[in-house]
Structure 1
Amino acid sequence: MSEPIVIDPDALIEQARAILQANDVNGIFIKPGTYQYPHQWNWDAALVALGLSHFDRPRAEQEIRSLLKGQWKDGMLPHVVYHNGASDYFPTPDFWQIERSPNAPEGVLTSGIVQPPLLATCVRLMHERAPDREASLAFVREIYPALYRWHRWLRTARDPENTGLVAIVHPWESGTDNAARFVEPMIRVIPTRVPAYQRKDFLHVREDERPIQAEYQRFIYLIDLFRQWGYDQETIYARSPFLVQDTLFNALMYRAQRDLRALAAELGEPTEEFDEWLATTRYAFNARLWSEEHGLYFAYDLRARRVLEENGCATFIPLFAGLASERQARRLVEEHLRNPEEYAPDGTRYYVPSQAKNNLFFEPRRYWRGPVWIIINWMVMEGLRRYGYHELAETIRQHSLELVQKSGFMEYYDPRDGTGCGATGFSWTAALTIEMLAGQPVPA
């Protein structure tokens, strides 16, 4: 293995700031990538705000306000807000047909599905580090009602049986669109009628780095079902052929609930509802999603009533959330993260591949089937710190910074040699580079 790349922290921070500023669209929102993603995405915006908060807090707060403008009347916070109308990105805003729902926002174009709830966690991080705590608390008080409505929507619309685990109804909602854990439930999604559409994701990114056509056809078929049902959440939960209690989504939901509870307590808002939900979730998460046999967390397919035994990076996100016991954390780290056949460097140079290398579906350059993502590295790094694995956390931080230094601010990276893949000028890679160089550990 070659010598580590020398990191220039000051230069990387300046370059990262330049990416965020270059991707700023009229001071309204920061697009996720130079070309591929020209609108505002939900969890991207949360991370962008976190990065911005280190050098331009007013702009960070504006990023969050812009995202919240897309909130639906029932509290749902969609995964894309189209502030600037249509572009060469597909789906276009009109494709979603959100006007079929009485809950759609007025005067704002959005998608009709969600993304992982990372916003409350980033807001708490920003608040804990704010130089002016009084001004920061005023901002938290301003946006708290919207955050609360968003979380309450997830707990009710996506967990109507009050199991403690929320369900996603489309792989895009996981943020990890084509992850191997969705192969089995998506195979059972039979597209009987697919509306006409034209993929645009190959305009700026190589085809072999994107989801395959069979997957994309199913993505569109699910959207068409939701349109036909007028985005009625009871109908979607009852009838969507794809209904999964996802490991990553629920881990981030639990973490976000804890962070929102901390903010509520500081505001003097009631916290009993959070306490009840957190207790239910902690039990349900480990009872249903932890596999003692494998020492891994797996997603659960509600339609097939079975665990989805695919070994991917989502299994480590419970460390970030603080959901694992010390024993579970030890198994995740020692049996899997340090295992050179799965995630540790051996044949690959960099942590953390998004799919275990000995998995049938591992593809080192195809989206969520193997490349390294800086968002996953950051979460795994912070999770390791929580459980006392500081040396391994620092290794992952160094690998992340090496990737950026070597290949630039890319969407994801080939774990074998660190070459960049996907979109260029990727905003959350820039934001998290700033966070890893300038931030402190995530509060417990």
Structure 2
Amino acid sequence: MLDDAPPSRTTISSPPDGGRHVGPPAQLGPPPGAGDRDRRLYVAAESALRANWRQGRRRRDGTPYAFTCPAPPRYRHMWHWDSCFHAIAWRRFDPARARAELRTVLRSGRDDGFLPHTAFWHWPAGWRRAPFYATGKVLGSWFTETINPPLLPFAWELVADASPDHPGFRDEALGALGAHLDWMAHHRDPDGDGLLTIVAPDESGLDDAPKYDAVYGRMSHDRLGYFWLMERSRRLGWHSHTIIERYDHHVEDVLVNVAYALSLRAQGRMTGDPVWADRAARTERALLEKCLDPGTGLFLDLHGPDEEPVRVSTWSALAPLALETLPEDVRRRLVEEHLLDPRRYHAAHGIPSVAVEEPEFNPGFDRWRTWRGPSWVNTAWMLVPPLRRLGYEAEAARIADGLAFAADRHGLREYYHPFTGQGLASKNFGWSTLLLDLL
């Protein structure tokens, strides 16, 4: 290819930093020159993380744990991607706790590399919610049999970078992290195309996003049929290949595969083994070739055995912006035609979780459905840094300042109204402390 030729849609480039997705370098204490607002947010973030910290030993077998509850009492357990985000936030205040949280995530599953969506460290899943948890049995389970976006190697590298006085941390779990990525490839990529498949909507972390409505129907996360989705998987022993072969309710989810590619890249940098970069490039090519919709420029989930595109625009369709190895023109199209368009994702406060023009867009509070319009901090945390690196400095600052305004006025909430900035749902929400990386 000529040096001045534009990359093809299936070209995966290698930028000088290896595609590393990082925010500003972590530092203890507020950034130099921080204003009063940012200092207040810094104090609030540290207070929230420390209040939500839990440490002890599991009653069943004495296994030690140390993690951050997302927001007790509503969210009192450990969720995989929440804890990855919490550790990334902890690296600013207490790198030792960041390392402890990631070690706890790593010991939450099985020796074969499986890591669960949710771990119940204090006690098994309770009787009221247990039938709706993705557990191996209705009562007595200590973790779910479902996955979450596989962010652990990605988070591990960021925390290792913030732990120069503990150089051994980077290497101490490379074998286990590799086993986790291998488990995902073996159990969740049955057709071998490089894209992971989810068998329940909450495996993406976007439990009740409207993109799943047509796929799961009466078994969607917010409907009573969700119990049957859990129960039939329990009866099959949560054998993912059997579930995928027998039923049509499964999705090659864009966000899950962006997280997978980020972690494969991180594993490659930490190990120095090029096989991980090769696997990441394969996943990225599959996203380009199979999920990129040429008409809209969005990346669409694929559902069922025929890999039908899910034509609902949620922020997941923008998530490949975080993959800096994708062609620049593809990423700029996501920004200019979607992220900056007020009919879609341009808002005063953060990035809406669903495009404004979608019929299902609902930016307010809903007790049962949470990913149908409001702005979440982790969304901005993933999309604002690559926006800056593409040169959209003013727009990146606008998004960050809008969220900072909302958090300063309403506290570190679970999510925010994208037009008014009103704080919604749980208070002192753990991963909303990621906001500090954007300031």
- Is the alpha carbon distance of 1:109 and 1:87 closer, same or farther for their aligned partners in structure 2, counting shifts above 3 Å? closer
1:68 paired residue among 86, 98, 106: 106
Distance (Å, rounded) in 2 between the aligned partners of 1:284 and 1:86:
38
Mapped pair 1:16 → 2:49: no
- 8 Å contact kept, 1:93–1:111: no
Which residue is 2:262 aligned to? 255
Distance (Å, rounded) in 2 between the aligned partners of 1:93 and 1:417:
37
CA shift, 1:413, in A, is 0.8
Alignment of 1:23-102 (within 5 A): 23-26=52-55, 28-86=66-124, 91-92=129-130, 96-98=134-136
- 8 Å contact kept, 2:215–2:303: yes
Which residue is 2:352 aligned to? 353
- 8 Å contact kept, 2:403–2:421: no
1:184 paired residue among 165, 190, 214: 214
**Greater share of helix residues, 1 or 2?**
1
- Is the alpha carbon distance of 1:218 and 1:99 closer, same or farther for their aligned partners in structure 2, counting shifts above 3 Å? closer
SS at match of 1:25: strand
Which residue is 1:288 aligned to? 290
Q: Deviations over 1:35-65 (max 9, x none)?
A: 2110111000011111111121111111112
CA shift, 1:299, in A, is 0.8
- 8 Å contact kept, 2:261–2:280: yes
- 8 Å contact kept, 2:95–2:162: no
- 8 Å contact kept, 2:69–2:76: yes
- 8 Å contact kept, 1:48–1:428: yes
SS at match of 1:142: coil
SS at match of 1:295: coil
- Is the alpha carbon distance of 1:401 and 1:304 closer, same or farther for their aligned partners in structure 2, counting shifts above 3 Å? same
Runs of 4+ in structure 1 off by over 4 angstroms are 86-90, 93-97
- 8 Å contact kept, 2:338–2:344: yes
Mapped pair 1:422 → 2:421: no
Which residue is 2:335 aligned to? 333
Alignment TM-score, normalising by the size of structure 1:
0.83
Alignment of 1:151-300 (within 5 A): 151-187=181-217, 215-265=222-272, 270-272=273-275, 274-300=276-302
* Stretches of structure 1 lacking an aligned partner (at least 5 in a row): 1-5, 101-106, 192-212, 438-444
AA of the residue aligned to 2:91 = S
Mapped pair 1:145 → 2:175: yes
Distance (Å, rounded) in 2 between the aligned partners of 1:33 and 1:409:
10
AA of the residue aligned to 1:343 = Y
Q: Deviations over 1:122-143 (max 9, x none)?
A: 11112223332xx23x112222
CA shift, 1:86, in A, is 4.4
Distance (Å, rounded) in 2 between the aligned partners of 1:436 and 1:89:
40
Q: Deviations over 1:334-353 (max 9, x none)?
A: 111111111113xxx32311
Distance (Å, rounded) in 1 between the aligned partners of 2:102 and 2:221:
35
Which residue is 2:154 aligned to? 121
Alignment TM-score, normalising by the size of structure 2:
0.84
Distance (Å, rounded) in 2 between the aligned partners of 1:214 and 1:157:
23
Distance (Å, rounded) in 2 between the aligned partners of 1:59 and 1:125:
14
CA RMSD of aligned residues (A): 2.3
Distance (Å, rounded) in 2 between the aligned partners of 1:94 and 1:403:
33
Distance (Å, rounded) in 1 between the aligned partners of 2:339 and 2:199:
29
Q: How many pairs are equivalent?
A: 391
Distance (Å, rounded) in 1 between the aligned partners of 2:374 and 2:132:
32
AA of the residue aligned to 2:148 = Q
Distance (Å, rounded) in 1 between the aligned partners of 2:210 and 2:105:
29
CA shift, 1:89, in A, is 8.9
AA of the residue aligned to 2:216 = M
Greater shift, 147-156 or 323-332, is seen at 323-332
CA shift, 1:278, in A, is 2.0
Distance (Å, rounded) in 2 between the aligned partners of 1:435 and 1:218:
39
Distance (Å, rounded) in 1 between the aligned partners of 2:208 and 2:353:
11
* Stretches of structure 2 lacking an aligned partner (at least 5 in a row): 1-34, 57-65
